Amino acid sequence: MHSNTKILTQEFEYFAPKTLEEALDLLYKYRNKNTKILAGGTDLLVKMKTLNLKIDYIINIKDIPELNFINTDRELKIGAATPLSNIERVKKIKEKYPALYEGIKSMAAIAIRNMATMPGNICNASPAGDTIPPLIAYGAELKLVNKGGELIVLVEDFITGVGETIIKKDELVTQVIIPEITKNSGSAFSKKSRVKADIAKINLAIWLEREGKTCKDCRIVLGSVFIKAFRAKKAEEFLIGRVVNNDLIIKVAEKASEEIKPIDDVRSTAEYRTELARVMVEDTLKLAWDRAGGEL
Ligand SMILES: Cc1cc2nc3c(=O)[nH]c(=O)nc-3n(C[C@H](O)[C@H](O)[C@H](O)COP(=O)(O)OP(=O)(O)OC[C@H]3O[C@@H](n4cnc5c(N)ncnc54)[C@H](O)[C@@H]3O)c2cc1C
């Protein structure tokens, strides 16, 4: 039943393990019950309050020190209990992964970012999640762990639909792994929402690698235009291997807006989203190309 009360009326059992091992034991023990991981709680608790989501066991992972880290030594590794606001404060992330930095900065107010985590955004699997397009654009992976072992999976393959992922009941995302940024690559994020820090009408991340005047490789990822973040693969194919100039960018943007599958909803019409996607891809692609050292 839908209710707009802001009171948590249901009873549940609450655990705050101090180690990963303890958390995995609990997940295994309660795998056949309504059990949920609690990270920042900025999605989960809202759903429990407003959608009356029934939960029997909550496992809070925020007190597990081994899940709270940012490692920038080679590839970027970020632990599952790390608040978004800690990520946005790392200079190297702002400089090397601007699409991720910009995606995080576009989210909510700082009070929410002080609580919220990246795996929370990913596991919530909203088509509008703002960290998801940048992560897919960078080719990011997740480490999934259970008592039996661990598995590395692309963020792109992890989310399967609205609120749907491949995670198993006894599994936990322990970290996000983002590949090292190669020389001559550039990236950018953009988002259109009703007001700043609102949920996206469309969000977009582009990563590309430049070889002289041509685009060697790229990923163009749009949110809020399909049941999950959408890779505009026809537009990507059209861009790769070609000399990049203004005319090409306009054509790539048109292709991307033609291949997305937006719907009408409370935030926008499909028609508006189609037109908006074209403009956003054009602008964001120019920025990513510029950041890769390319000239137009
Ligand atoms: C006022 C407000 C504004 C917001 N604005 C935005 C916005 O602009 N853009 C945006 O994208 N989102 C926004 N959100 C949504 C939310 O803040 C983000 O999705 C956030 O990243 C969720 O992270 P969390 O740690 O709070 O997740 P939680 O609520 O703790 O968890 C979300 C889901 O993920 C699961 N989960 C969490 N961590 C793990 C893990 N390590 N392993 C397995 N499962 C896990 C939980 O069980 C739950 O199902 C907003 C929310 C609020 C309340």
- What is the DSSP track for 259-287? H-----BTTB-HHHHHHHHHHHHHHHHHH
Ligand 1 atom at shortest distance from the alpha carbon of 81: 41
For ligand 1, is residue 173 a contact (CB within 6 Å)? yes
Give the whole-angstrom CA distance, residue 174 versus residue 144: 6
The stretch 90-101 carries a mean pLDDT of 98
pLDDT band at 5 (very low <50, low <70, confident <90, very high): low
The stretch 8-21 carries a mean pLDDT of 94
For ligand 1, is residue 133 a contact (CB within 6 Å)? no
* Whether the Cβ atoms of residue 7 and residue 49 lie closer than 8 Å to each other: yes
Instruction: Determine the pLDDT at residue 265.
Output: 84
Strand ranges for the chain from DSSP E: 13-15, 35-38, 57-60, 70-71, 76-79, 141-146, 149-154, 159-161, 164-165, 172-178, 185-193, 200-211, 214-223, 230-231
Specify the residue with its C-alpha closest to ligand 1, atom 2: 108
Q: How far is the CA of 283 from the centre of ligand 1 (A)?
A: 28
Q: How far is the CA of 18 from the centre of ligand 1 (A)?
A: 21
Specify the residue with its C-alpha closest to ligand 1, atom 7: 107
DSSP label at 214?
E
For ligand 1, is residue 172 a contact (CB within 6 Å)? yes
* Whether the Cβ atoms of residue 172 and residue 162 lie closer than 8 Å to each other: no
pTM, rounded to two decimals: 0.97
3, pLDDT greater than 80: no
Specify the residue with its C-alpha closest to ligand 1, atom 31: 120
Give the whole-angstrom CA distance, residue 158 versus residue 281: 24
Give the three-state DSSP class for 87: helix
* Residues making up the chain, counted from first to last: 296
For ligand 1, is residue 37 a contact (CB within 6 Å)? yes
Percent of the chain whose predicted confidence (pLDDT) is above 90: 87
Amino acid at 100: L
Q: How far is the CA of 174 from the centre of ligand 1 (A)?
A: 15
- Long-range (24+ apart) CB contacts under 8 A made by 247-250 are 249/282, 249/285, 249/286, 249/289, 249/296, 250/282
Instruction: Determine the pLDDT at residue 138.
Output: 98
Instruction: Determine the pLDDT at residue 54.
Output: 86
The stretch 194-219 carries a mean pLDDT of 92
* Whether the Cβ atoms of residue 232 and residue 225 lie closer than 8 Å to each other: no
56, pLDDT greater than 70: yes
For ligand 1, is residue 108 a contact (CB within 6 Å)? yes
Give the whole-angstrom CA distance, residue 267 versus residue 40: 25
Tokens linked to 124: 């919530």
Specify the residue with its C-alpha closest to ligand 1, atom 23: 120
